[in-house]
């Protein structure tokens, strides 16, 4: 299993942002100023695989949006809410 296990996890507010996070804008609506995270960034934060994050999105636990290229992205606020919920403790 290829799981990323960093020595310490930085708080969500300090995660690195893409160089131009506005280019990963949601195509639907006028939400071009949203702060979005990649599947890999979310996986790193929760210390799980990116496949686990995809499963959470498929099951409705984490809302997923698509950027202009069709790649999955996750709203930072949704990720923070999931971190604060009991889901993290229940998943272990």
33-91 CATH: 1.10.1660.10
Q: In whole angstroms, what is the distance from residue 27 CA to residue 7 CA? A: 36
Identify any residues that bridge with 36 across adjacent strands, giving them in sequence order: 75
The 10s digit of each residue's pLDDT in 46-86 is: 999 999 999 999 999 999 999 999 999 999 999 999 999 86
- Contacts with 23 (C-beta within 8 Å, 6 or more apart), sequence order: 67, 68
Say whether pLDDT at 24 is over 50.
no
The structural domains of the chain, with segments of one domain joined by +, span 33-91
* Token pair listed for 51: 């496949």
Q: What is the pTM of this model?
A: 0.60
Q: What is the largest CA-CA distance in the chain?
A: 39
């Amino acid at each position: 299993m290829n799981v990323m296990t960093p020595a310490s996890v930085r708080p969500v507010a300090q995660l690195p942002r893409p160089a131009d996070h506005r280019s990963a804008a949601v195509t639907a609506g006028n939400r071009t100023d949203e702060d979005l995270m990649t599947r890999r960034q979310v996986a790193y934060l929760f210390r799980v695989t990116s496949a686990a994050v995809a499963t959470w999105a498929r099951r409705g636990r984490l809302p997923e949006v698509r950027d202009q290229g069709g790649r999955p992205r996750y709203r930072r606020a949704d990720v923070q809410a999931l971190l604060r919920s009991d889901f993290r403790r229940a998943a272990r």
